[in-house]
Amino acid sequence: MGYIEKLVNGFVNSSIKNSWGSYKGSKDITSHEKDYVVKMLDFIEKDSIRFRTSNLLKWYIDKAESSKRMYYIFNITALISNAAIPILALSNNNGEAKIFVSILAAIAGVSLSINNLGHYKENWTNYRKCAEGIKQAVSVYSIKKETYLTLNKGKNDLTPANEKYIVKLEQELLTEIDMIVSLEGKRWFEIHSKQEEEMDASQQ
Tens digits of per-residue pLDDT, 67-105?
999 999 999 999 999 999 888 877 766 777 788 889 999
CA atoms of 30 and 148, how far apart (whole Å): 31
Please give the pLDDT value at position 18. Answer: 43
Please give the pLDDT value at position 196. Answer: 62
One digit per residue, the tens of pLDDT, for the chain of length 204 reads 454 444 334 434 444 444 445 555 565 677 777 777 788 888 888 888 888 898 898 899 999 999 999 999 999 999 999 999 888 877 766 777 788 889 999 999 999 999 998 899 999 999 999 999 999 999 999 888 888 888 776 555 667 777 888 889 999 999 999 999 999 988 888 887 866 666 555 555
Number of other residues whose CB lies within 10 A of the CB of residue 16: 17
Please give the pLDDT value at position 158. Answer: 62
Phi-psi region of 4 (alpha: psi -120 to 50; beta: other; left: phi over 0): alpha
DSSP category for residue 20? B
CA atoms of 168 and 161, how far apart (whole Å): 11
Burial call 25-52: b when 16+ CB within 10 Å, e when fewer? ebeebeeeebeebeebbebbeebebbbb
CA atoms of 56 and 26, how far apart (whole Å): 12
Please give the pLDDT value at position 124. Answer: 93
